[in-house]
Amino acid sequence: MKKFLSVVFGGMIALTLFVTTGNTAKAAESHQPEALSEECGCDVTPILGSERNKIVADVISSEAFKAVKKDLKKDGLKWTGANTVEVFKNNTYGMVMVGIPFENEQGTKFMAVFFDGVFMGLSPADAE
C-alpha cells in the first residue's frame, strides 16, 4: 500500500508540473531606436555592404570629389580612405548622404558631406 500511495502521489506531482499552465513569457514591443533622429532631426538608415561600396566608388570617382579633395589638400587636410566613408539614406526625402572623413595634422577629423553626389560642405566630425 505504501508503494502504491508513493506512485500515485508521485504521478500527481509530475502531472501537475507538466500539465498546469505556467507564466508565459510575453514578447517585448518592438520599436525603432530614436537616437539618430534626436541627434540630427532626420530619419536616416545606414547603407552597408555592396550597395555602400558602389555608392562610395561613384562618389570618389566623381569630379566633385576630386575638386574637393584637391582644395582640402591645399588646406592641410588629408583623406583617411574609402573604408572610413559613411553612407546614409534619408528616408524622408529619399536622398543618399555620403560623409567622407578628412584629417588635419593635429588629428582633428572633418567630414566632407555629399548629398546625391553634390558637395554640401565641410564640418567637424562627431567624436567616436
Name the 3-class secondary structure at 112: strand
User: Strands 109-115 and 44-46, how do they pair?
Assistant: unpaired
- What pLDDT was estimated at residue 13? 78
Query: Which of the two residues, 109 and 16, has the higher pLDDT score?
Result: 109
93 in Cβ contact with 86 (< 8 Å) = no
Confidence of residue 11 (pLDDT cuts 50, 70, 90): confident
Q: For residue 47, give the amino acid letter.
A: I
* Beta-sheet strands, E only, within 1-128: 44-46, 78-79, 86-90, 96-103, 109-115, 118-124
The whole-angstrom separation of Cα 39 and Cα 51 is 25
- Rounded to 5 degrees, what are φ and ψ at 18? -95, -20
Please list the alpha-helical segments (H only) found in 20-125: 35-40, 49-60, 63-74
Cα gap 3→16, rounded to integer Å: 20
Tell me the pLDDT tens digit for each residue of 61-97: 999 999 999 999 998 999 888 888 999 998 888 899 9
- For residue 96, give the nearest of 64, 63, 48, 61 by alpha carbon: 48
Is the model's pLDDT at 104 over the cut of 60? yes
